[in-house]
Amino acid sequence: MTRVAVVFNDDSRLAAGDAQDALAVQGVVSCARAVTDALRSRGHSASLHALPMERREIGAFIEALDVDVVFNLVEAVGGDARLEPAFA
């Protein structure tokens, strides 16, 4: 059985934004849950993980993932979409 971490950024704690931003955050969380459910339905051990907002916490976050594969749904790092490729 493959152990998969589904990682996403949960930006619901960001101070700025409007109703459309809130919908986008909900969409990402819904997508991450759907991917996790689909992986589980196919026999994988899948777990859902929200990327920490603080950049200094990301290294420890990655080290703590005890999985075979990461399904990356991260679209921003620390609320900054320009850093999206940095997580990969």
> What pLDDT band is residue 34 in, cutting at 50, 70 and 90?
very high
pLDDT at 47: 97
- Judge whether residue 74 has pLDDT over 70: yes
Q: Which residues contact 7 (CB under 8 A, 6 or more apart)?
A: 49, 50, 51, 65, 70, 71, 72, 73, 74, 87
**Which backbone phi and psi does 76 adopt, to 5 degrees?**
-160, 155
pLDDT at 28: 83
- Judge whether residue 15 has pLDDT over 50: no
Which segment of 36-40, 42-46, 53-57 scores lowest on mean pLDDT?
A: 53-57
Residue 24 belongs to domain spanning: 3-87
Count how many domains the chain has: 1
Rounded mean pLDDT, 65-85? 90
